């Protein structure tokens, strides 16, 4: 009975190993790990926030447009609406 359990555990480990290797070498698998994608997105949002602060500091956008853009960034939207001083 113990030998059967050991064989099953070994087979599961080998299957997991084969699956992992297969995912690594397939061309459809993304090369970016999930945390790196998350950090890249967070960095992009922070850069967009700095850009909006710079626009507001240099009086290139109005208060309403600044508030709208920052609200979008807080919701995770990197694409910001284009607009002049008021919008």
Q: By CB neighbour count within 10 A (0-12 exposed, 13-18 middle, 19+ buried), where does 52 fall?
A: buried
pLDDT of the residue at 87: 47
| Regions of the chain with pLDDT less than 70 | 27-38, 78-87
pLDDT of the residue at 44: 83
Question: Which run of H or E residues covers position 57?
Answer: helix 34-57
User: Residue 59 — φ and ψ, nearest 5°?
Assistant: 60, 40
Neighbours of 17 (CB within 10 A): 10
């Amino acid at each position: 009975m113990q030998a059967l359990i050991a064989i099953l555990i070994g087979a599961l480990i080998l299957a997991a190993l084969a699956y992992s290797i297969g995912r690594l070498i397939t061309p459809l698998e993304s090369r970016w790990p999930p945390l790196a994608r998350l950090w890249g997105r967070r960095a992009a949002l922070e850069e967009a926030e700095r850009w909006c602060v710079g626009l507001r500091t240099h009086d290139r956008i109005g208060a309403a447009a600044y508030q709208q853009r920052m609200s979008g960034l807080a919701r995770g939207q990197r694409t910001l609406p284009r607009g002049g001083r008021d919008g």
